[in-house]
Amino acid sequence: MSAIRFEDPWIERGPWKRLRSGSMINISQVWVVLLVLFNLALLGWLGVNWTLNSMKLSEQDAQITSLSEDVDWTEARRNWASSYVRVKNAVNSVAEGKMTPRQVGKLTETLWVQSRTYGFDPVLIVAVMQVESRSNPSARGHFSSGTESGALGLMQIKLATAQIMGKSLGLVIHEDADLMKPEVNLLLGTYYLMRLIVRYGKVSHGLMAYNIGPYGLEHRLRTGEALPVAYSRKILVQYHFLVQKFGRP
């Protein structure tokens, strides 16, 4: 009696086995292709996203730079305005009704522009103006004997000196009346004083030379004679008083 053989329906044989094997290979290849495509799409998306983010960051950087420049510009204007008001207040404090508001405005503009051009504290000039003429635009200097010294106006500058300084600044000074214009007198006197300070390398020596003339100061320095320190100290005391009142530059 022959044994009965039961076929396992799950055993793959012949062409069926080859068909299943081939299908598995084809399916594996499809998955590989799909996986590659997915990775390529992911890389593409990441690339686009990175580009967009980079563009956004660049725009933000540009905006930040622009804002920083605006802040710097605003801060500079605020400082300029603050320094201008400081000078105007100092001039007003010594004017004491001797000058019109228009004259005060002109003097403030002249001082403020000069200080930014030559790099000095304009309040120092206000102190000189106060000591020299009591801030009187019409002041005329006198010697101890009572005769006129020839010093004129706010900064008590003499006509010959003013004419020399005027040539350097492109101004033509004809007569005493020209030096009675407050803004002209202040411009020439300030320019002269700044040249002296630079020449001697010290504010105190520049002030002394302004008082007795450069040749007078050099003679005293050579001979060892006493320097006119009282004059420079008087101005520096007045300057420190104004600084305490109106603040530092």
Each residue's pLDDT expressed in tens, for the chain with a length of 249 residues: 555 554 544 444 555 454 455 555 566 666 777 777 777 777 777 777 777 777 777 776 666 665 555 555 566 567 778 889 999 999 999 988 888 999 999 999 999 998 988 888 999 999 999 999 999 999 998 877 778 888 999 999 999 999 999 999 999 999 999 999 999 999 999 999 999 999 999 999 999 999 999 999 999 999 999 998 999 999 999 999 999 999 887
> Residue 37: what pLDDT?
74
> Residue 19: what pLDDT?
45
> Residue 45: what pLDDT?
75
Residue with tokens 């300057």: 239
> Residue 28: what pLDDT?
66
> Residue 25: what pLDDT?
53
CA dist., res. 11 & res. 26, Å (int): 21
Show Cβ contacts of residue 179 under 8 Å, excluding neighbours closer than 6 positions. 152, 153, 157, 159, 162, 173, 185, 188
CATH topology of domain 80-246: Lysozyme (1.10.530)
Show Cβ contacts of residue 131 under 8 Å, excluding neighbours closer than 6 positions. 231, 234, 235, 238
Do 78 and 154 touch, CB atoms closer than 8 A? Answer: no
> Residue 22: what pLDDT?
52
**Domain ranges for the chain:** 80-246
